[in-house]
Structures are given as C-alpha cells and as structure tokens.
Structure 1
Amino acid sequence: MSERATGSETTHGTIHRHTSHQDQPSAGQLISAVLGTTYVVVGLLGFLVTGSSDFTGHDPAHNIAGITVNPLHNVAHLLVGGLGVAAYARPTFARAYGALLLVAYGGLFVWGLLVAGEPNAMNLDTGANVLHGATALLGLLIALLPARHEERADSAQGAR
C-alpha cells in the first residue's frame, strides 16, 4: 500500500489517518455556547419585559415564562451568557466557565431559597431558583467533562 501525503501511515497493512481534534469543540464548549446563548436571549427578552427603570425592583408582573426578572437580573443574564459564548473559544475556558456557574449559581440558588417570596435585589422567586439550581448542575457537568476528546483515548491507551 502506498502512503499518501494526506497524513496517513501504515502499520501491519492497516492505514491510520491522523485527524486533528484541535478543531473540534469539546462537549463542554458546546454546552457552554448553548447555555451562554440561551442566557443572552433571556437577558435581552428580560429588558423587553422590564425596560431599564427600577433597576432592583420587585415586580411579579415582570416575568419570562414564570421567572421574575428585573434590570439587574437581566444584566446578570447577559454577562453570564456572554461568558458562556466566549467559553466556546477554548476547552479550558469552558471548564472554568462551568466552575464559575457551579459556584455562582449554586450560591444564587441557596440565597434564592432564603429570600424567595420576599422583595430582593435580583427579584428571585421559585422559578428562578429552579433555573439557578439547574444551571449550577450544568456548570458541574461542564467543569467535569474532559477538555478534549483525545484525553479519553490517551488515558485509555496509557492504562494498557
């Protein structure tokens, strides 16, 4: 068998193609981008609902799909969303973003449990608590996923 200049080599009659996983995003990067985009959309929709007045106000009528928001909450969604979209750039950024989500949204979840139903700066309610708890769990998942596909293959080969 002849070798072509396409990055192939032969070993015992088997052709092995060298493919670069450098250009393929990790699962953590993909989840970060989807979650980030979702939060950007929610932040923008939030401003359509709340406008920009009463920045830390508590108005149950200002809600998106049953989750109350205010301009401060919208800004937080835009920032977290922007970070998620930026985390797509590198696997290590995605893992750091996951850790940030776990800590920040885990904290918001606990704080929300304490203040839900009362006026609070972020206009948190039960719906927001569910969303924040789920986001913290997604953050944990992103942080624990391998940064690259080949890391799993390399560790499996090293164990042999």
Structure 2
Amino acid sequence: MSDVTTPTDRFAGSSIQKVALLVGVVFLLVGIAGFVPGLTSGSLAGAGHGSMAMLLGVFQVSVLHNVVHLLFGVVGVLAAGYATGSRMYLVLGGVVYFVLWVYGLFTAGHSFGANFVPLNWADNWLHLVLAVGMVALGVAFPRVGGRAVRAVR
C-alpha cells in the first residue's frame, strides 16, 4: 500500500486531467449556449436537419446536437478524475470528431435524412479542428509535469 499521493490520484491533478476538464467544460458551455435565445437564432425544432437554429449565427444546431455537446462535456469532466481516462477521452473523442467530419463531408448542408445531427459546413470544419486538437492534446500532454510519476511502495 502506498502512502504517497500522486497528482494523478486527485481530480484534475495533472496537466492532462486539467486539459480534459477544460475541454469538458467548454463542451458543456457550448451545449448550454445552444439552448439560449439570443446566442441561438432560428427555430430549435427537433433533432434532425429540420432545425434551422444557428448558434452564434454560424453553426447549425438542434436539440440532439446540443444534448450531444452536453453529454460530451459531462464525460470530459468525469474523465478529469483520472489521467488515463483524460487521455482516453481526448484521443477517442478526437477520433469520434474525425469520423463526424468524414460523415459531414457527405451530409453537411443537405436536407435529407442522413443529415440527422444536423451539420452545416462551419460545423464540419470545426469538427476537423476539434479532432486534430483533441488528439494532439491527448498525445502531447504529459501525465504529470513532463514525466510519469510512480508511487513509492
């Protein structure tokens, strides 16, 4: 049994955990903003491409889109409790956004059933930026201060 507590044993105790927490909080804020009149214009109807709501006048959103952002944010905040979970959240989340970007290449801006998220071109390119950024953060940030820390037994 170890009586040494490492930063990765604490909530958001390491740099990678802080990054996951920050990303999670940003997703929560974006999810909330998608429901706020004034930040979101147009009709926030349903889940699919029929929603004409625009977040900040640029990004097409729907109830489903906002809920997904909220869930992604909750997962990020929960992942911040563990260094390994934080890294996994960032890297796998980046992969999910890359897949969403590829999906958007075929559906963004179209009003057919396959565009159920819905996506426009601004959303789609933001998803590529998120994919690259999240994977880069997940790979680049060390667990603790530039090195992995081992507990002394």
TM over 0.5: yes
CA RMSD across the alignment: 2.5
Matches within 5 A, 1:54-133: 54-60=46-52, 62-65=53-56, 66-119=58-111, 120-133=115-128
Q: Structure 2: 5+ residue runs without aligned partners?
A: none
| Rg larger in structure | 1
Residues 43 and 51 in structure 2, CA contact (< 8 A), matched pair in contact too: no
Q: Which residue of 1 aligns with 2:29?
A: 41
Residues 106 and 132 in structure 1, CA contact (< 8 A), matched pair in contact too: yes
Q: Which residue of 2 aligns with 1:13?
A: none
Residues 48 and 64 in structure 2, CA contact (< 8 A), matched pair in contact too: yes
Alpha-carbon distance between aligned partners in 2 of 1:126 and 1:51, rounded to the nearest angstrom: 19
How many percent identity over aligned positions?
29
- Pairwise CA distance, 1:152: 5.9
Q: Which residue of 2 aligns with 1:30?
A: 18
TM-score (norm. length: structure 2) = 0.76
Q: Mark the CA change 1:86 to 1:133 in structure 2 (over 3 Å): closer, same or farther.
A: same
Residues 55 and 61 in structure 2, CA contact (< 8 A), matched pair in contact too: yes
Residue 147 of structure 2 is aligned to residue 151 of structure 1: yes
Alpha-carbon distance between aligned partners in 2 of 1:80 and 1:71, rounded to the nearest angstrom: 14
Residues 21 and 149 in structure 1, CA contact (< 8 A), matched pair in contact too: no
Q: How many residues align?
A: 136
Alpha-carbon distance between aligned partners in 2 of 1:142 and 1:28, rounded to the nearest angstrom: 8
Q: Structure 1: 5+ residue runs without aligned partners?
A: 1-18, 155-160
Q: Write 1 or 2 for the structure with the bigger share of helix.
A: 1
